[in-house]
Amino acid sequence: MAHTNTQLSQWLESKVGQTLDIRKGELTHNEEISDLDQIVLHLQKVAIRSTNHPDDYVAKEELVLEGEGTNNIH
């Protein structure tokens, strides 16, 4: 189910002050996860920022998460 940036930012706003564990992986043709990226972030602020890119494939808005954390990128 797809969510708008507004819906997602409202949900993230409810998580301000908490630590988030965000992971992104790619599925292989065998449905196994490869190339796992992980960020652990103590969320301090959420914002939606307008963008002005000349390319149509770039989103018109960015969801910005601010806080301190670490990343573990493979």
Per-residue pLDDT tens digits for 37-73: 999 999 999 998 888 877 777 778 888 999 999 998 7
Q: Which residue has the tokens 């790619």?
A: 26
**pTM for the predicted model, two decimal places:** 0.74
23 φψ region: left (φ > 0), alpha (ψ -120 to 50), beta (else): beta
pLDDT value at position 27? Answer: 85
Max CA pair span of the chain: 38
What are the tokens at 31?
Answer: 């449905």
What are the tokens at 19?
Answer: 């630590």
| CA distance readout (Å), 40 to 3, 51, 59 | 22, 26, 25
In the chain, domain spans: 5-73
* Whole-angstrom distance, CA of residue 28 vs CA of residue 19: 29
